């Protein structure tokens, strides 16, 4: 099943304790598509300026991502500059230059409007809402966001939450959005605002999937029945090179798996968390989206098997 993603296509400059990269291919939609294209046909909508090195997107197109919805307009491309210290779990944003994103109004090509799976990657929530106005009853919609938008576009973001099935956030963003310290409380607060599922990512400490139970258990008012929780660890890599894009790669693996299987059961969404975690682990092995695009189906399958080994144990003596 086809998967539509709308988000940023950026030029990133990143410093990590292991090196730095200047003006490399980045952006939430780019990382998402580089991950999701291993599982499902991906359609990308975004904008770049005339300064964008288009040849650097050729690998994405060659991997089957349909770039017909990527506009190229006069002006400067979106640029993000970030730095990671020894705690690789959170980036310090040094500079965000919206450039052509400041005046961007997403136009979903007619051929993309019926995509059954839609992901609103991290961009201005006003643009995420504009996308929702143009798609015709998708089966499942996911969205992502970040501290920048939680602080500057809170009301619009709450409006987005009313219209999506899934939201992905990291733990700091979940706390900032909900103003709750405890993550279970934060998840419940978010679920109460609309989405059926919330994924809270904790970087090298794994990811939680929280969900509202289905109708059958709604009569049960015990606290456990009000929210279901699944957890997957992060893959214990020996070397993390650049964490940029891990969250988007996670979302791409998650949504890609769901679009490929077209199965919205709880069990399958749990599998999607593991596929997302596997893709996030590939993203951080190199700068930009290089490793993500190069990874093979066998490598993905092997890493998913390793996740299984990592968490399986016998219950009982
Ligand atoms: P992640 O590390 O998965 O959270 O995402 C990193 C990507 O998000 C980078 O490639 C940035 O270009 C992009 N990004 C950073 N800030 C923003 C923003 N305010 N809006 C949209 N995309 C952003």
Atom of ligand 1 at shortest range from CA of 122:
21
pLDDT at 213: 80
pLDDT at 87: 85
pLDDT at 215: 58
Q: DSSP class of residue 2?
A: -
Cα-based distances in Å from 260 to 88, 176, 252, 268, 300: 31, 33, 12, 11, 15
Q: Which of 11, 21, 28 to mutate to test the pocket of ligand 1 (most atoms within 8 A of CB)?
A: 28
**Domains, the chain, ordered by start:** 3-311 (3.40.1190.20)
Q: Which of 10, 143, 289 to mutate to test the pocket of ligand 1 (most atoms within 8 A of CB)?
A: 10
**How far is it, in rounded angstroms, from Cα 94 to Cα 9?**
18
Q: Which residue's structure tokens are 């288009």? A: 54
pLDDT above 70 as % of the chain: 96
CB of 203 within 6 A of ligand 1: the answer is: no
Identify the segments of the chain with pLDDT beneath 50. Answer: none
Q: Residue whose CA is closest, atom 12 of ligand 1?
A: 27
Q: Tens of pLDDT along 5-31?
A: 999 999 999 999 989 999 999 999 999
The neighbouring-strand residues paired with 143 are: 120, 167
Length of the chain equals 317
**How far is it, in rounded angstroms, from Cα 118 to Cα 258?**
11
Q: Residue 192: which residues within 8 A CB-CB, separation 6 or more?
A: none
**How far is it, in rounded angstroms, from Cα 70 to Cα 48?**
7
SS3 52: coil
CB of 82 within 6 A of ligand 1: the answer is: no
Query: Smallest Cα–Cα separation from 253: which of 37, 60, 5?
Result: 37
Q: What is the pTM of this model?
A: 0.95
Tokens of 118: 């839609």
pLDDT at 242: 93
pLDDT at 89: 81
Buried residues in 228-248 as b, exposed as e (16+ CB within 10 A): bebebebbeeeebbbbbbbbb
**How far is it, in rounded angstroms, from Cα 220 to Cα 37?**
40
Q: Which of 6, 7, 8 to mutate to test the pocket of ligand 1 (most atoms within 8 A of CB)?
A: 8
CB of 10 within 6 A of ligand 1: the answer is: yes
Q: What is the chain's Cα-based Rg? A: 18
pLDDT at 226: 76
């Amino acid at each position: 099943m086809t998967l539509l993603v709308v988000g940023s296509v950026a030029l990133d400059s990143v410093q990590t304790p292991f090196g730095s990269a200047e003006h490399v291919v980045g952006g939430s939609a780019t990382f998402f598509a580089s991950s999701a294209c291993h599982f499902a046909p991906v359609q990308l909508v975004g904008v770049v300026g005339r300064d964008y090195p288009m040849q650097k997107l050729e690998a994405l197109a060659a991997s089957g991502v349909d770039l017909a919805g990527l506009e190229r307009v006069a002006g400067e491309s979106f640029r993000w500059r970030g730095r990671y210290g020894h705690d690789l779990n959170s980036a310090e944003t040094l500079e965000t230059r919206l450039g052509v994103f400041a005046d961007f109004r997403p136009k979903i090509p007619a051929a993309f409007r019926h995509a059954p799976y839609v992901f609103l990657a991290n961009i201005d929530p006003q643009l995420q809402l504009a996308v929702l106005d143009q798609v015709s009853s998708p089966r499942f919609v996911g969205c992502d966001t970040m501290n920048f938008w939680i602080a500057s576009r809170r009301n619009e973001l709450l409006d987005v939450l009313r219209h999506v099935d899934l939201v992905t956030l990291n733990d700091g963003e979940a706390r900032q959005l909900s103003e709750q310290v405890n993550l279970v409380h934060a998840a419940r607060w978010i679920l109460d605002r609309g989405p059926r599922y919330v994924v809270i990512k904790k970087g090298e400490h794994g990811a939680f999937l929280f969900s509202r139970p289905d109708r059958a258990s709604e009569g049960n008012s015990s606290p456990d029945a009000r929210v279901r929780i699944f957890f997957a660890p992060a893959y214990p890599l020996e070397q993390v090179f650049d964490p940029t894009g891990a969250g988007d790669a996670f979302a791409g693996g998650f949504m890609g798996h769901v679009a490929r299987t077209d199965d919205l059961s709880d069990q399958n969404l749990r599998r999607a968390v593991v596929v997302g975690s596997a893709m996030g682990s590939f993203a951080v092995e190199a700068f930009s989206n290089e490793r993500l695009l190069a990874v093979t189906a066998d490598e993905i399958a092997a890493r998913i098997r390793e996740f299984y080994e990592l968490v399986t144990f016998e219950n009982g003596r």
